[in-house]
A and B are shown apart, each in its own frame.
Chain A
Amino acid sequence: QQQVKQSPQSLIVQKGGIPIINCAYENTAFDYFPWYQQFPGKGPALLIAIRPDVSEKKEGRFTISFNKSAKQFSLHIMDSQPGDSATYFCAGVYGGATNKLIFGTGTLLAVQP
């Protein structure tokens, strides 16, 4: 019940394309869903996050779409750039003081020039 399933495992798009990464969760106790971006040799960086009472959130070129009934959420990267090439992780967080991140398995994104 703690899993967060993420797909695809890897993704290649052309510059300007819109890569979409999908995640699904089982545990309805999650009440915060962040996305992290990780470059080689670096720690994960918080990119954008959403609460389950919101269906969509945009920050710059990054958009999260959230479907509470289906227990699914996705990350869209508009006008993708080669600098967006990185590994992306979705996660779920339990509410309250137990702020344990349950991560998806990651998506390696390559944006070709």
Chain B
Amino acid sequence: KAGVTQTPRYLIKTRGQQVTLSCSPISGHRSVSWYQQTPGQGLQFLFEYFSETQRNKGNFPGRFSGRQFSNSRSEMNVSTLELGDSALYLCASRFLALTYEQYFGPGTRLTVT
């Protein structure tokens, strides 16, 4: 069974632009979560989607948003990019809402210049 896939793997954007990252969960998994990983702040939870509904949101500004489609694929969007948004953005999927095991994709490395 294929793992979590994320596209693109690398991205360079300019401050003020917006960006959309994509995540395809493991086949059959219905929950998708997003995390930001930086050297300074570590791994931080952004939000989780299940059945196209946002179930939980981390402590990030409104510039960070996401959505989930009926096939469980998810996208996250960051508007008005800031230098501090440079990070590895990770997507994780799990089978059902009440299962604990989360499986991560390889991430999208976003660099904001």
Q: Do A and B bind each other?
A: yes
Check if A93 is an interface residue, CB within 8 A of chain B: yes
Question: In the complex, which residue of chain A has the Cβ closest to the Cβ of B3?
Answer: A43
Question: What residues of A have a CB within 8 angstroms of the CB of B92 in the complex?
Answer: 43, 101
Question: In the complex, which residue of chain B has the Cβ closest to the Cβ of A106?
Answer: B42
Question: In the complex, which residue of chain A has the Cβ closest to the Cβ of B35?
Answer: A101
Check if B11 is an interface residue, CB within 8 A of chain A: no
Question: What residues of B have a CB within 8 angstroms of the CB of A93 in the complex?
Answer: 100
Question: What residues of A have a CB within 8 angstroms of the CB of B103 in the complex?
Answer: 45-46
Q: Report the count of interface residues on A (CB-CB < 8 A).
A: 23
The majority secondary structure among interface residues of chain B is: strand
Q: Are B43 and A100 in contact (CB under 8 A)?
A: no
Question: 15 A–B contact pairs at CB < 8 A?
Answer: A34-B100, A44-B90, A46-B103, A46-B104, A49-B100, A49-B101, A98-B55, A99-B94, A100-B48, A100-B58, A101-B43, A101-B102, A104-B42, A105-B42, A106-B42
Q: Add 6 more A-B contacts to A43-B107, A46-B102, A99-B56 (CB < 8 A).
A: A42-B107, A49-B101, A98-B55, A100-B45, A100-B56, A103-B42
Residues of B within 8 A of A (CB): 4, 31, 33, 35, 42-45, 48, 50, 55-56, 58, 90, 92, 94, 97-107
